[in-house]
């Protein structure tokens, strides 16, 4: 009997193949009480496992194939950063000492604690980093027990092998391109998880967040992975097989046609040019941006320079980083969003908050205005980097025109500071704001009088408008991009920007969903990120 499972579609296309089950490493963790004399040996065992994990990740980063996704190196680097954090490198050792327990049980206790902290984060993207943490932990656990840390990509695999796993780490996918893998599916993951991002980048049919797929599938069982619709079909009958084989032929033909248009200018039949921009987090993302023919960077998430460190980055550090990004873009535009930190994504150097609702607390531009030295330091670095190419500055989580006035005042102070130092900078840099809150959308006419452009962050705008967290499975059904209230706000912002001849773009998952492309174009939006 066929079984149909629905999950999150991340890698478009369809694959029909035989299942290969990927073994998990932490199904049953032993809990042992140790003698005081055994503690030093157990600590050494844990330290060796961490060292082995670091060595493996560094080797994988060096061995990344040329045809691998550009994001892969950045993701493995993130795993190395997580591994170096004291929460994984030292705190399990403290538990071994304090409780006289084995390394595996100490690692499990620390993992459970970290998982709870990640679950409390409001931001979708950063909450999804929980999976990265768990992937690093599993690799440490396997090294503790002498287990293989690699996903087996057997030479005798058929060309239609489908990997079925509870989860896959970025490191697991390093050799996908060289292996005989047609598709992959996982039990866990979300739209912003690195597994999802890699699924899209690998150009491979993939579905995540299937729940219990691995428990329901047997080794070598025939499955269909519909990466376009987010469907996994186990043991399909002949009728279903015939239909999906027809769909595969149609998809491949459509893909061949699209590949011919990849670097063609996006112009409508009535001669309106549509600008397609990329969202990036690291320098490694730029390679993929050029490959896909994007017109520039519509959003550079700058907060990753502030995380996983014990102090604030200096102006010179940020200037060197931004200048390198400008250089690698080769004349394409770059919009840098100023740091978007807060109670739900605190660096180690920032004090902890006890807000009952992080999403409504000290976050985004509120934190920047509360920490003017940090804010102006970053703005000075951006102003200096803007001498080398087309750079714009954008402020996140704006809620009112008052905040815009405050940002402009700090910008003027940053310019004066650079002028007093006789430092070269772009005094005429364009500035814009993220429209992520209903209050900003409804105040858009006043805001637009003081900025050069706006970018609508649909992920947050939808969540704040509908009071529905798409990462919360119990209310995710309420997260509706096509809700009339959301569409009215979008239309209101786009119409106001067009009337005042100000550039407006749309970013977030909605901007990347082709079913909304015509709708956004019809509303008058000519920029998509």
CA distance 331 to 274: 18
Give the catalytic positions in this structure: 194, 507
In this prediction, residue 493 carries a pLDDT of 96
User: What is the side-by-side order of every strand in the sheet holding 3-6?
Assistant: 3-6, 231-234, 222-226, 14-21, 161-165, 181-186, 206-208, 8-11
Q: Which of 192-196, 255-259, 364-368, 461-465 has the lowest mean pLDDT?
A: 192-196
Greater model confidence, 118 or 308: 118
Q: Which of 22-26, 49-53, 235-239 has the lowest mean pLDDT?
A: 22-26
Q: Which of 149-153, 277-281, 476-480, 494-498 has the lowest mean pLDDT?
A: 149-153
CA distance 225 to 206: 7
Alpha helices per DSSP H over 330-400? 365-370, 372-385
Is residue 359 very low, low, confident or very high in pLDDT (cuts 50, 70, 90)? low
CA distance 100 to 94: 10
What residue segments make up the domains of the chain, in order of their start?
Answer: 3-22+151-246, 36-144, 275-528
Greater model confidence, 7 or 469: 7
Greater model confidence, 288 or 209: 209
Of the ranges 181-185, 378-382, 481-485, the best mean pLDDT one: 378-382
In this prediction, residue 343 carries a pLDDT of 44
Q: What is the pLDDT of residues 288-311, one digit of tens each?
A: 788 778 889 999 988 878 876 678
Write the DSSP symbol of residue 25: S
Share of the chain above pLDDT 90, in %: 44
Continuous segment of H or E residues that includes residue 276: strand 275-280
> Is residue 158 scored above 60 in pLDDT?
no
Listed in sequence order, the residues at least 6 apart from 151 whose beta carbon sits closer than 8 Å to its beta carbon are 22, 163, 165, 168, 172, 173
In this prediction, residue 452 carries a pLDDT of 97
Classify 275-528 by CATH class: alpha beta
Overall average pLDDT of the 479-502 stretch: 94
By DSSP bridging, strand 453-457 and strand 430-435 are: parallel
Overall average pLDDT of the 222-230 stretch: 92
Greater model confidence, 361 or 142: 142
Query: What are the Cα distances from residue 482, in Å, to 319, 439, 511?
Result: 40, 19, 12
SS (H, E, C) 253-272: HHHHHHHCCCCCCCECCCCC
Fold agreement between 3-22+151-246 and 275-528: no
The pTM (predicted TM-score) of the whole model is: 0.63
> Is residue 208 scored above 60 in pLDDT?
yes
Query: What are the Cα distances from residue 292, in Å, to 39, 85, 288, 295, 513?
Result: 53, 34, 6, 9, 16
| Mean per-residue pLDDT of the chain | 85
Q: Which of 95-104, 215-224, 507-516 has the lowest mean pLDDT?
A: 507-516
In this prediction, residue 155 carries a pLDDT of 47
> Is residue 175 scored above 60 in pLDDT?
no
In this prediction, residue 516 carries a pLDDT of 86
In this prediction, residue 423 carries a pLDDT of 96
Write the DSSP symbol of residue 522: H
Is residue 278 very low, low, confident or very high in pLDDT (cuts 50, 70, 90)? confident
Of the CA atoms within 13 Å of residue 309, those in its CB half-sphere come to: 9
In this prediction, residue 454 carries a pLDDT of 96
> Is residue 342 scored above 70 in pLDDT?
no
Overall average pLDDT of the 489-505 stretch: 95
In this prediction, residue 233 carries a pLDDT of 96
Q: What is the pLDDT of residues 393-441, one digit of tens each?
A: 999 999 999 999 999 999 999 999 999 999 999 999 999 999 999 999 9
Overall average pLDDT of the 358-370 stretch: 81
> Is residue 344 scored above 50 in pLDDT?
no
Q: What is the pLDDT of residues 450-484, one digit of tens each?
A: 999 999 999 889 989 999 876 665 777 788 889 99
CATH number of 36-144: 1.10.274.10
Share of the chain above pLDDT 70, in %: 86
CATH number of 3-22+151-246: 3.50.30.10
DSSP string, 76-137: HHHHHHHHHSHHHHTHHHHHHHHHTB-HHHHHHHHHHHHHHHHHT---HHHHTHHHHHHHHH
In this prediction, residue 224 carries a pLDDT of 96
In this prediction, residue 384 carries a pLDDT of 97
DSSP E strand boundaries for 305-413: 333-337, 391-395
Query: What are the Cα distances from residue 189, in Å, to 291, 409, 465, 469?
Result: 26, 42, 25, 16
In this prediction, residue 351 carries a pLDDT of 53
In this prediction, residue 358 carries a pLDDT of 61
């Amino acid at each position: 009997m066929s079984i149909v499972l629905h999950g999150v579609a991340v890698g478009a296309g369809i694959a029909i193949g035989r299942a290969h089950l990927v073994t998990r490493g932490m199904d049953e963790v032993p809990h042992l009480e140790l003698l005081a004399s055994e503690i030093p040996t157990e600590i050494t065992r844990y330290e060796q496992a961490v060292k082995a994990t670091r060595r493996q990740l560094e080797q994988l980063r060096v061995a990344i194939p040329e045809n691998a996704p550009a994001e892969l190196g950045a993701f493995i680097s993130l795993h190395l950063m997580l591994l170096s954090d004291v929460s994984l490198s030292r705190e399990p050792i403290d538990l071994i000492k304090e409780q006289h327990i084995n390394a595996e049980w100490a690692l499990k206790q620390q993992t459970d604690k970290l998982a709870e902290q990640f679950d409390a984060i409001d931001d979708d993207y950063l909450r999804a980093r929980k999976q990265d943490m768990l992937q690093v932990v599993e690799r440490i656990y396997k090294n503790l027990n002498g287990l293989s840390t690699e996903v087996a990509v057997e030479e005798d695999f058929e060309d239609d092998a489908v990997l079925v796993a509870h989860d896959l780490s970025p490191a697991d996918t390093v050799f996908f391109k060289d292996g005989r893998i047609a598709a992959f599916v996982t039990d866990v993951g979300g739209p912003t998880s690195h597994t999802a991002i890699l699924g899209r980048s690998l150009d491979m049919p993939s579905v995540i967040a299937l729940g219990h797929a691995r428990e329901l599938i047997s080794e070598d069982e025939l499955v269909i992975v519909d990466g376009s619709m987010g469907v996994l079909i186990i043991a399909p009958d002949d009728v279903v097989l015939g239909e999906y084989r027809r769909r595969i032929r149609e998809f491949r033909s459509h893909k061949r046609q699209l590949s011919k248009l990849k670097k063609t200018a996006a112009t409508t039949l009535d001669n309106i040019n549509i600008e397609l921009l990329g969202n990036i987090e690291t320098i490694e993302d730029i390679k993929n941006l050029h490959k896909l023919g994007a017109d520039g960077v519509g959003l550079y998430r700058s907060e990753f320079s502030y995380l996983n460190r014990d102090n604030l980055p200096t102006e010179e550090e940020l200037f060197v980083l931004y200048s390198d990004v400008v250089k690698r873009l080769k004349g394409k535009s770059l919009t840098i969003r100023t740091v978007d930190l807060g109670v739900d994504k605190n660096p180690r150097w920032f004090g902890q908050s006890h807000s009952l609702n992080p999403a409504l607390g000290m976050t985004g531009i509120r934190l920047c205005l509360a920490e003017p030295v940090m804010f102006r330091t970053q703005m000075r670095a951006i102003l200096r980097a803007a001498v080398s190419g087309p750079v714009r500055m954008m402020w996140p989580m704006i809620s009112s025109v008052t905040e815009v006035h405050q940002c402009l005042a700090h910008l003027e102070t940053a310019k004066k500071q650079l002028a007093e130092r006789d430092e070269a900078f772009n005094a005429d840099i364009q500035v814009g704001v993220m429209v992520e809150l209903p209050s900003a959308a409804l105040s858009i006419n006043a805001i637009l009088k003081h900025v050069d452009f706006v970018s609508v962050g649909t992920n947050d705008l939808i969540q704040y408008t509908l009071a529905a967290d798409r990462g919360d499975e119990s209310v995710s059904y309420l997260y509706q991009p096509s809700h009339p209230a959301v569409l009215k706000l979008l239309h209101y912002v786009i119409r106001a920007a067009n009337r005042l001849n100000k550039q407006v773009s749309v970013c977030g998952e909605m901007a990347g969903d082709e079913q909304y492309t015509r709708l956004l174009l019809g509303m008058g939006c000519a920029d998509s990120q």
